[in-house]
Structure 1
Amino acid sequence: MTLLDASGIYTICPTPFDLHGQVDVDSIKTLVEFQIEVGVRGLAVLGFLGEAHKLTNAERRQVITAFVSGARGRVPVWVGVRALGIPGAIEQALEAQALGASAVFAAPLDGVSDAVLFDYYKALGKALHIPVIIHDFPDSFGTQISAEVVARLGREGGVNMIKMEEPPVGPKITRIRELAGDSMRVFGGLGGVYLLEELQRGAVGTMTGFAFPEVLVSIYDQFRQGNLEGAAATFDHYCPLLRYEFQPRLGLALRKYIYQQRGVIACDHVRAPGMRIDAYTRDELEAVVCRVGLSLEARGPQAVQKGA
């Protein structure tokens, strides 16, 4: 696989657990089928939403294997990598490659210089046969990756895609594209709350965990078809839900609850440490879902209100 054709909506998938907190492989299968049915272009696993930092090494392998097996080559599966040093990151990435991942998206090393970041991503790229994607999320990783480093990796480092989640997203996307040209493709993220602006700035898609991915697919499809007014109207209509679901520290629990209510996964268990929703929050969420015309009771993809 190359990244030349990678575009559209890639869902950052949660890792389903059962009532006892164990990995639920059956729910992974139903989650994969649902994502493919709603029209996403790919799956991303073992990111923050996948609670990768709460899994054992054996569970990481179990989760990757289950997603790759469930996808059966119909969509690519990208796997998250995060380690304290280059050897550990390469080890994780090689394991993902061996288990059938189509690409890895790698968090930066903590608190290192631009030169070390460049060497890190370049080393990852050289060690693998599958592509490496930069995961730029300083609010969670604590490390900023400058547009200059990103562009240099595209031109010289053999790393040609970034999942860019550093607000304000618009100016950084523009700067990366100015410096890197066609050598670096940009995916957005951040819950889809800036999806329209990301696409307008030149992003080729987004990787995020929004639990009504058919909404994001509709916005992207309208935009790519040249219906900018329609894409904007659809985006504006669903913004209240995008905003509510993307709450810091609570978003994972909200997304798992939505998926459980939609019949996509069997249980909304979140491993500790992790927030869970209370009854008041649950009622708030359900009210927002209803307000934008969606349902937690309907099974399968739901009709999306399109714009002009």
Structure 2
Amino acid sequence: MTQNDHLQGVYTIMPTPFTQSGDLDLSSLDNLVDFQLSAGIHGLAILGFLGEAHKLSGEERRAVIRRTLERVDGRVPVWVGVRAIGTPASIEQAREAQDLGADAVFAAPIDVQADAAIFRHYQQLQAALSVPVLIHDFPENFGITISPEVVARLGKEGGVHYIKMEEPPVGPKTSRILNLAEGSVHVFGGLGGTFFLEELQRGAVGTMTGFAFPEVLLRIYDLFRQGQHAEAARVFDHYMPLIRYEFQPKLGLALRKHTYFRRGIIASDHVRAPGLNIDSRTAQELEAIVRRVGFQFGVGGPQELIK
């Protein structure tokens, strides 16, 4: 298969902004899109787990897709998350996103722990669409494990050529998928960027994650692609304290929203229930780490990285 240049690089999985009272905040969504584009992001992914898609009404979901695509205006690809109980409902969500203009969808598995059912689900989903389907492999949140053998079979026989792979240990599974797939599947990393360097070293074509300083991931990716592997590692190591702290189980979304709020990009860091918000001590810890790595809050645009 020929590599599609649109399906590689650093894609930000965006949070969905709400007002402090919990209503959808489309003005902040505009600001968030503008910031990502100014940072040089390769693409945007909306309505994933980080985007609180499972907490939105159908009309809110459509409003987020429409507004994002309108604001992006074709400048970068936009991928839309799909998650439903069964294949027909997943197809319905995916077709809606496609009809509204999405460039691809990233789809959670159905709630059946059986290789044949997982294969059939993704095969049927891709067959129903004209845009690419990415497998979203995130057992910690979805409760389903997708084997490398199924992923490789989907690449060779099912027409599904991309996976957002978030099952630790990410290195061995990435290698196993790529070895079995023989060029028919391309791997994107995730998990907050915590293993981004190792994912690239194993052959990943990029990452899809919500880290709220995307300029860091872009620098690492660019350096690595240019063959400056030692420099990419230096940048990765320098910012790891912030990457690590932000990607805390159960609290990562709140930390990312708070970061975008403190950066002046969204108007509120509200997380819809059920979901944790951060306390003042955690906010102080986050701010200290942001300063420690050389960034600052209160600056709305992309920031300079270490030289």
Q: TM-score interval w.r.t. the shorter chain?
A: over 0.9
CA distance in 2, matches of 1:163, 1:219: 18
- What CA deviation, in whole Å up to 9, does each residue of 1:141-193 have, x standing for no partner? 00000000000000000000000000000000000110002110000000000
| Letter in structure 1 aligned against 2:124 | A
Describe the SS at the equivalent of 1:276: coil
Shift of the alpha carbon at 1:75? Answer: 0.6
Matches within 5 A, 1:50-129: 50-129=51-130
| Letter in structure 1 aligned against 2:190 | G
Describe the SS at the equivalent of 1:287: helix
Assess, with a 3 A threshold, how the Cα gap between structure 1 residues 32 and 206 changes in structure 2: closer, same or farther. same
Question: What is the match of residue 144 of structure 1?
Answer: 145
Q: How many residues align?
A: 305
Matches within 5 A, 1:167-246: 167-246=168-247
Answer with 296-305 or 52-61: which moved more.
Answer: 296-305
CA distance in 2, matches of 1:57, 1:182: 37
CA distance in 2, matches of 1:68, 1:58: 15
CA distance in 2, matches of 1:252, 1:115: 33
| Letter in structure 1 aligned against 2:36 | Q
Contact 1:3 1:131 in 2 (8 A): no
CA distance in 2, matches of 1:168, 1:304: 29
- What CA deviation, in whole Å up to 9, does each residue of 1:248-283 have, x standing for no partner? 110111100110111111111110111011110000
CA distance in 2, matches of 1:262, 1:16: 14
CA distance in 1, matches of 2:99, 2:113: 29
Deviating 4+ runs (over 3 angstroms): none
Question: What is the match of residue 4 of structure 1?
Answer: 4
Percent identity, aligned pairs only, is 64
Question: What is the match of residue 130 of structure 1?
Answer: 131
Question: What is the match of residue 17 of structure 2?
Answer: 16
Question: What is the match of residue 250 of structure 1?
Answer: 251
Contact 2:113 2:145 in 1 (8 A): no
Shift of the alpha carbon at 1:59? Answer: 0.6
Length-normalised TM-score, structure 2: 0.98
Shift of the alpha carbon at 1:297? Answer: 1.7
| Letter in structure 2 aligned against 1:24 | D
Describe the SS at the equivalent of 1:183: coil
Contact 2:152 2:180 in 1 (8 A): yes
| Letter in structure 1 aligned against 2:4 | L
Question: What is the match of residue 25 of structure 1?
Answer: 26
- What CA deviation, in whole Å up to 9, does each residue of 1:270-308 have, x standing for no partner? 1011101111000000001111111112220101114xx
Describe the SS at the equivalent of 1:149: helix
- What CA deviation, in whole Å up to 9, does each residue of 1:7-27 have, x standing for no partner? 110000000001221111111
CA distance in 2, matches of 1:214, 1:249: 24
Describe the SS at the equivalent of 2:182: helix
Shift of the alpha carbon at 1:3? Answer: 6.4
CA distance in 2, matches of 1:128, 1:30: 30
Question: What is the match of residue 275 of structure 2?
Answer: 274
Contact 1:3 1:160 in 2 (8 A): no
CA distance in 1, matches of 2:306, 2:202: 24
Consecutive unaligned residues in structure 2, runs of 5 or more: none
Contact 1:187 1:207 in 2 (8 A): yes
CA distance in 2, matches of 1:168, 1:222: 24
Shift of the alpha carbon at 1:112? Answer: 3.0
CA distance in 2, matches of 1:155, 1:299: 44
| Letter in structure 2 aligned against 1:4 | N
Length-normalised TM-score, structure 1: 0.98
